[in-house]
Chain A
Amino acid sequence: MLNLIQNEWMKLWHKKGTWAMVALLILFIIGPGIMMKYQEIKYNSNNSETWQESEQQVINLNKEMMEDENISAEDKKHFEEEMAISEYRLANELPSQEDGSVASFMSFAGNMLNLVTLFTVIIAASIVSSEFATGTIKMLLTRPVSRAKILTSKLLTTFIFGLFLYVVTFIVSALVGLILFGGGTGVELEMVNGQIVEKAVWNDLAYHYLLSGGDFVMSILFAFLVGSVFRSSSLAIGLTMFLSFTGGMIVMFLSRFKIVKYIWLTHSDLTQYERGSSILDGITMPFSLTILAIYAVLFLAISYMSFMKRDVTA
């Protein structure tokens, strides 16, 4: 099996497209980083007020807002929290992070994980279908290796490639953050149960990476399914992208029906639990994970069955 993965890995990196993906990903992290740094410098040179003054401003602004009688209890709580944090900063000499920090840049770069998913979907969609398109599938399947093993090696290679892109995103954004924003001082604060505590930025970041894995895995399995059943990479990429763009809408349309709870699209974006507002009322993380696991097994079963039974006529 290791040999087979080695083969797939070799083929993958002999394609120019793969290198282009990595280059684009790195570019999409460095580019915004430089732009952010540029704006920050420009802002700082025009802005002479001290951090104490700006914290005071936040307090005053929030006080003004509170005077409005129409505000809801929820908004009021939010304003009070902000004021409490600012007062805490002034009292304890803790400046906030006006400037970007490594962590804040990295959590921004966390958005690039969508790009990682997109690129990995492209690989997942084409890793089987391209063998059919070029006719090399005949050379591949007339070897003393069962079809199940070949498909498994392709699936594993896809995931390894995806994880590799994850690591690239993490390392590059850490490096760029360190180089551009490494000098930043300051602490992120948040209110938890009425206590002001330092925000666990690193934990949040790790959590975001983990949750984005839901969409990542489901998109890959779906693209892999379509790619190996219909042997068309464009169909697989198109369909997967279409569903990921319109997934929310489809769920909204179907939300009148009970069945919507049992569609993977409702659950694949696990970052909804991070935001605290799920797309549908009454679903929980364990429930979502269960549904996703069932669909994952289903997708894999169909992929394997069709690949192993098929008569190759390419």
Chain B
Amino acid sequence: MTTQPIVQLQNLSKTIGGKQLIQQLNIDLYPGQITGFLGPNGAGKTTTIRMMTGLMNPSEGKVIIDGLSLQDNYEEAISKVGVIVENPEMYKFMTGYKNLLHFARMHKNVTKERIQEVVRQVGLENRIHEKVSTYSLGMRQRLGLAQALLHRPKFLILDEPTNGLDPAGIREFRMYLRKIAAEDGVSVFVSSHLLSEIELMCDRVAVIQNGKLIDIRDINVETSSFYYIEATPNDQAAALLQKLDYNFVAENNGYVVEIKKEDIPKLIPQFVNEEIQLFAVQPHQKTLEDQFLEMTGGGQIAESNSK
């Protein structure tokens, strides 16, 4: 990566009441990139996000946003960040528009035209002058996104952003995030439990467990390649794979085999020689879910780190 990171977490740690919730977290986030933030419940996602938004002070380490330390240069650093922390809690007794006006007044240079523009972008034109208490959860999410985008942030932090959106809304939301990332070079950091969502939305995932970063990798780049092979009789196929020293696991009616692409033509004649009927040989991509469960060891909640 040659571009400068827009956000850097440096040795970020948080200790509350003697418990280390977050330990020495180091993550760099780049412009135009959407990074997913995954971890089992209680892993420290929310705590990390709160430290990145200035809601909590780190016990150790720094959050650097666009070259400025969030702790020392709060006002300037946070002005580049758009935030939705958990459910966007709005002032329910006011209209959506008044809510946006309220937040716009807290930023410099957010005009009324800009408010209208954002309202259009999130598709709330028809209901914006109604009280937020009459909004559905999905509409509140849209309003939440609108307030986060008002000041054209360079960095967007979203905690569970698609919670409550309908499928069309999720899709629209995903496209929108992709668009601002690609066109405006906004760096997006999304925490979510919906792995399939993260998979569709993100370029990169950071996985955290027990307050430690256990992996950060680009999505869709397989470190090793897998093929799905379906053949009968099953046990003969298994015996053959065993004999040839391949790693494999049973899946559906066949096996997922760890094998290089160039080895496939050599493998197929072996099946034929053994008179095993071959039905399918196809590339197999592990889903993010598989990878996630593999990395976190089943994803059980860490005992002492839960809220």
Contacts and interface: CB of A to CB of B under 8 A. Distances in A.
A138 B81 CA distance: 13
A17 to B, nearest CB: 10
13 contacts: A4-B105, A6-B105, A10-B98, A14-B94, A135-B89, A139-B89, A141-B55, A142-B85, A143-B78, A144-B74, A144-B76, A145-B75, A312-B56
Contacts of B78: 142-144
A47 interface: no
Interface string A1-35: 00110110011001110000000000000000000
Contacts of B284: none
Contacts of A139: 83, 88-90, 103, 147
Interface string B9-27: 0000000100000000000
A311 interface: yes
B94 A142 contact: no
A134 interface: yes
A134 B98 CA distance: 17
Contacts of A312: 50, 55-56
Contacts of A146: 74-75
B55 A138 contact: yes
Given A134-B89, A136-B89, A143 B107 contact: yes
B244 interface: no
Nearest to B14: A311
Nearest to A140: B106
- Nearest 7 A-B pairs (CB), nearest first? A135-B89, A144-B79, A143-B106, A312-B55, A3-B105, A311-B56, A142-B83
Contacts of B85: 138, 142
A311 B86 CA distance: 16
Query: For chain B, what secondary structure do more than half of its interface residues adopt (helix, strand, loop), or is it mixed?
Result: loop
Residue among B50, B87, B89, B107 having the largest count of chain A Cβ atoms under 10 Å: B89
A259 B75 CA distance: 44
A233 to B, nearest CB: 16
A212 to B, nearest CB: 31
A313 interface: yes
Contacts of A138: 53, 55, 83, 85-86, 89
Nearest to B46: A313
Contacts of A10: 94, 98, 101-102
B92 interface: yes
